[in-house]
Amino acid sequence: MLKVRIRKNLPGFNLDVAFAVNQEILAVIGPSGSGKTMTMLCIAGLIQPDEGYIRLNSKVLYDSDSGLNLPPQQRRVGFVFQNYALFPHLTVRDNIAFGIRHLSRQEVEDRVWRLLDKMHIQELGHRYPRQLSAGQQQRVALGRALAPEPEVLLMDEPFSALDTYVKEQLERELLALQHFYQGNILFVTHDLSEGYKLSSKIAVYESGRILQCDSKQQVIAAPANRAVARLTGVRNLMAGAVVEIEDSSVWVAVPELGGRLRVTIRDAAQLAIDQQVTIGIRAEYVQVADHLDENTFLGKVSQAVEGVASINYSVRVHGTATAGHDLEASLSKSEAPPIPIGQSCYLRLPPDRLCMIGG
Amino acid sequence: MTETYLSPLWISLKTVLTATAITFFMGIAAARWMARYQGKFRNLIDGIFILPLVLPPTVVGLGLLLLFGIHGPLGKLLKLFGASVVFSWPATVIAAAVVAFPLMYMTACGAFEQVEINIENAARTLGATEWRIFWSVTLPLALPGVAAGAILSLARSLGEFGATLMLAGSIPGRTTTIPIAIYFAVEAGDNNQTILLVLIVLAVAFGLLAALAYWKRRATNSGNRSLIPQNID
C-alpha cells in the first residue's frame, strides 16, 4: 500500500496531491507539465516536496512533520525513466545486476537469468545499450528496476517513445507482469487509452492537482467535472436544467439541443428541479437511429473525419448552418455505412450512457 | 656538455609528471565538490579556481611569490619546518600545478555535467551510495573528458614559463625546465641546445595531440549522450 500526500511550490503551478494505491496499477493521466513526473520523483526521493507524507507499506519514506526524508537508496522504489537511463558503459546483464550486487554470486546469477527470461531478452545479456532497439532498452530498464524486488514500481511514460507494434507488445507484457510482480505499480502517461488498458485505477491530473482518482470505469462513466470529462475525451458536453425527476431517471432541458434528454441515474436525491447541470456523452456512445424517439435528434452531417476503424462525425442538430450546436459521434465503420456530408440523420443519445457532471 | 643539454629534460619530466598527478586529483575533487555545492558562493569559488588561467603567468608567479616568499603567509609557515620553496625544484611543481589546475577543473566539470542526471538518479533508486555512483557511473562515463583534461593540463605544465621563472628562477640542474632552458639558450645564442629542446617539445606536443584525438574518438563512440535507439528489433 502506497499512501501519498505532498505539496510543492513550483514555478508556474503548485503541486498539491493526495492518493493511495493498494496492490494495484494506477495510471496517472494528464497534460504535459501538470506535475505527474514531479510526483513520481518525490515518491522516489529524488526531489523533496515542501511538505507532506509518503508511506510505502510499513515504512514511512517522507514526513515533513517529523523531518523524515529517506534518501532514494533506502526507499525500495523501482523507477523506469522516460528515456530508460540505462548505464551505457555496462552490458545488459550488468545493468540488471547493478542494484543487487550485494547478494551472493549465485543469487545474482539466478535473478538476472530470471529477469532476462521474463523480459524476453535472454540472448541480449552481453550486449551494450547502444546496440539495442528502443523496445529492448525498455525491457532492460524494466528488468533493472525489478531486480532488487522493489515495493513499488514507478514508470514515467514508459511507452511514449515506441512505435505502435512494439508498444502493443509491451503493453501486453506489462499486464502479464502483474502475475510476477506483486507490488504496486504507478505509471504516468498522456495517452488515455493506454492508461485505461493497463490500469485498474486512474488519477487525472491538471495543473498540479488531482481532479479525480477512481476506478477506471468510474472515471470514464462518471467524470467528476468538466475538466476531467475534457481530459478523458468526452467530446459532447452540454449545459442543461433539471425539469423532471423520477426514481431512476431525470429529464434535463438542453437548450443547445433544442429539446430534452432523459438521463438514467442511480441517486436522484442529489438533484432538484431547475438545478443547472452539465450533461456529457462520449462520441463513441452516440448512436445512429432511423426515426425520432426519446433522446433522438435530427441533424445534418457537417464534418466527417475518417479514422482506421471508425468515422468521427460532427452533426449539426440544432440551429442554423452558421450558428448552432454540433454533436460529435464516432461510428464504427463495420457497423454503419459512411454518411456523406450534408446528409440528414437521426442521432440517439442512450439514457444510460449520459453522465451528469458537476461543476 | 650532454649533461647540461639534457638536464632540462629530466627536470621537466619530473616536474610535469608530479604537477599533472597533483592537478589530476585536485581538479577532479574540485569539480565533484562544485557539482554538488549549492551554496551562495558558487560563482566566487568557481572564479577563484579559474583565475590562474585568466591571469598572465608572470602575475600568477608574482602571486605565488608573495604567498611563498619569506614575508608571505605560506612561506613563514614553511620556515617553521625549516623549509623554503622559493628558487627550489618544488617551486617548479607548484607553478606548473597552479597554472594547469583551471584546465583540469573546467574540463572535469564539463565532463561530469555531461553525464545525464537520470542515469545517476537511476543508480540512486537502485540503492547505490553517492560514492559508488561517482566511481562506478559518473567517472567511467566522464572518462574521455577527464582524460582530455589531464592531457591539456600536462601540456600546460610542460609549457609553463612565466610563473616558474618568478617562483623557481632558472638554476641549472635544479629548476631549469625546458621552456626556461629554451629562452636562455636563445638569449645566449646556443643554437644547438635550442634546436634540440624545441624538437623534443614538438615531439611531445604531437604525442599529446594524438592522445587527445584518441580520447575524442572514445568520447563519440562510447556515447554517454542520450542513446538514439537503433530500432533493429
- Among all residues of chain B, which has the CA nearest to that of A148? B126
Asked if A72's CB is within 8 angstroms of B116's CB, the reply is no
Q: Is B169 exposed, middle or buried (0-12, 13-18, 19+ CB in 10 A)?
A: middle
Question: Cβ(A293)–Cβ(A349) under 8 Å?
Answer: no
Pairwise CA distance, residues B139 & A287, whole Å = 62
* Nearest beta carbon to residue A85 from set B119, B140, B223: B119
Q: Which residues of B touch A75 (CB under 8 A)?
A: 125
Pairwise CA distance, residues B17 & A63, whole Å = 52
Pairwise CA distance, residues B15 & B181, whole Å = 14
Q: Which of B26, B87, B24 is nearest to B61 (CA)?
A: B87
Chain A contacts in chain B segment 83-142 (CB below 8 A): 116, 118-119, 121-129, 137, 140-141
A196-222 pLDDT per residue, tens: 999 999 999 999 999 999 999 999 988
Asked if B124's CB is within 8 angstroms of A71's CB, the reply is yes
Asked if B227's CB is within 8 angstroms of A129's CB, the reply is yes
Q: How much is the pLDDT for B133?
A: 95
Q: How much is the pLDDT for B3?
A: 59
Asked if A87's CB is within 8 angstroms of B125's CB, the reply is no
DSSP one-letter code for A46: S
Q: How many CB pairs under 8 A join A and B?
A: 90
Task: Give all domains of chain A, ordered by start, each with its CATH number.
Answer: 2-230 (3.40.50.300), 234-357 (2.40.50.140)
Phi-psi category of A88—alpha, beta or left, where left has phi over 0 and alpha has psi -120 to 50?
alpha
B226: helix, strand or coil: coil
ipTM: 0.85
Question: Cβ(A309)–Cβ(A259) under 8 Å?
Answer: no
Asked if A83's CB is within 8 angstroms of B125's CB, the reply is no
Q: Which CATH superfamily, name and number, covers B2-222?
A: MetI-like (1.10.3720.10)
Q: Which residues of B touch A129 (CB under 8 A)?
A: 227
Q: Which residues of A touch B123 (CB under 8 A)?
A: 87, 98
- A83 CA: distance to closest CA in chain B (Å): 8
Maximum alpha-carbon separation in chain B = 71
Q: How much is the pLDDT for A44?
A: 96
Confirm or reject contact between B38 and chain A (CB < 8 A): no
Q: Which residues of A touch B138 (CB under 8 A)?
A: none
Instruction: Determine which of A70, A89, A91, A100 to mutate to test the interface with B (most B C-beta atoms within 10 Å).
Output: A89
Confirm or reject contact between A115 and chain B (CB < 8 A): no
Q: Report how far Cα A243 is from the mean position of its chain's Cα atoms.
A: 35
- A88 CA: distance to closest CA in chain B (Å): 6
A183-200: average pLDDT: 90
- B129 CA: distance to closest CA in chain A (Å): 7
User: Residue with C-alpha cell 493511495?
Assistant: A20
Q: Which residues of B touch A78 (CB under 8 A)?
A: 125
* Nearest beta carbon to residue B125 from set A79, A102, A137: A79
A31-81 pLDDT per residue, tens: 888 999 999 999 999 999 999 999 999 999 999 999 999 999 999 999 999
For chain B, 233 residues long, give each residue's pLDDT as a single digit of tens: 455 667 888 888 999 999 999 999 999 999 999 988 888 888 999 999 999 999 999 999 999 999 988 888 888 888 888 888 888 889 999 999 999 999 999 999 999 999 999 999 999 999 999 999 999 999 999 999 999 999 999 999 998 988 888 888 888 888 888 898 899 889 988 888 889 889 999 999 999 999 999 988 887 766 544 444 443 33
Concatenated DSSP letters of A69-88? E--GGGS-EEEE-TT----T
